[in-house]
Structure 1
Amino acid sequence: MERTDKNVDDYLAGLTGERADSMRALDAVIAEELPGLERVLWEGVFWGGTEQQIIGYGGTATPRPRGEVVEWFLIGLADQKKHISLYVNANSEGKHLVQLWKDRLGKVNVGTAAATLTSFEGVDVDGLRGMIREARRLTPEVT
């Protein structure tokens, strides 16, 4: 995946379908909680081999399991075929932050480092805001 110079607001405005409003609402919450950090559209083949577009909030360097360090984002937001993915690249207590906050996020499914949801309406916004603030606190080097 690579960062692009495409306008995130234009990307969001061009979304259609049942999750478009949820994507815009999630973007507003994330951007409000991370003022001053970069907000970039990433595109390309994701690690699992699928072509994706991800809005990345906050630039950081992230170590991969094989040892290499890659340029990445603190929080990522992606409209998938059947759901929305919210990637959280922060750890605490030896666990991915999204796993520690899963019971406070509302109606979401949680994997290793991502939450998936079908609608903004099921999200506990206070829990989401708290997790984003904690991710930012844990990664002070993010730009």
Structure 2
Amino acid sequence: MERTDRDVDAVLAALDGERADAIRELDRVVSAEFAGLERALWEGVFWGGTEQAIIGYGAVTQPRPKGGSVDWFLVGLADQAKHLSIYVNAAEDGAYLVQRFAPELGRVKVGSAAISVTSLDRLDLDAFVRLLRRAREVTPGVR
């Protein structure tokens, strides 16, 4: 995936469908918590080989397990075929924060560093905001 120069607001405005309002609301929440940090559209082939468009918040440089590093986002938001995905690339004490906050996040599916939600009313927004704040706190060099 690569960071693009496409206008995130224009992409959000062009969305339609049942989850369009939900993704715009999540964008509002994440943008408020990450004010002053980068907000960019990432596009390309994502893990698993699927073509994706992800709104990335907060730029980070992450080391790769086999050496080198990669530019990436701290939090990402994507509209999938059947759900919204929220990626939180922050860890504390060797564990992804999503795992730590999982019991508080509501009726959502949680992976290692991702939250899948079918509708916004299933996500506990207060817990989500706490997760975002902690992600920003524990990630040095986020910009």
**Shorter-chain-normalised TM-score: which range?**
over 0.9
Inter-partner Cα distance in structure 2 for 1:114 and 1:27: 16
Shift of 1:126: 0.7
Unaligned runs of 5+ in 1: none
Flag as ranges the 4+ runs of structure 1 deviating above 6 A: none
Matches within 5 A, 1:15-54: 15-54=15-54
What's the TM-score, normalizing by structure 2? 0.96
Inter-partner Cα distance in structure 2 for 1:43 and 1:54: 6
Query: Taking every aligned residue pair, what percent have the same amino acid on both sides?
Result: 57
Inter-partner Cα distance in structure 2 for 1:65 and 1:101: 25
Aligned AA (1:112): S
Shift of 1:64: 2.8
Please name the residue that 1:137 is paired with. 137
Number of equivalent positions: 143
Shift of 1:82: 0.9
Inter-partner Cα distance in structure 2 for 1:46 and 1:77: 13
Inter-partner Cα distance in structure 2 for 1:135 and 1:122: 21
Inter-partner Cα distance in structure 2 for 1:95 and 1:120: 25
1:65 is paired with a residue of what secondary structure?
coil
Please name the residue that 2:58 is paired with. 58
Deviation per CA, 1:50-88, whole angstroms, max 9, x where unpaired?
A: 000000000001123333311000000000111111000
Please name the residue that 1:115 is paired with. 115
CA RMSD of superposed structures (Å): 0.9
Please name the residue that 2:74 is paired with. 74
What's the TM-score, normalizing by structure 1? 0.96
Shift of 1:29: 0.5
Shift of 1:107: 1.6
Inter-partner Cα distance in structure 1 for 2:66 and 2:19: 35
Please name the residue that 1:7 is paired with. 7
Aligned AA (1:142): V
Matches within 5 A, 1:79-90: 79-90=79-90
Shift of 1:7: 0.6
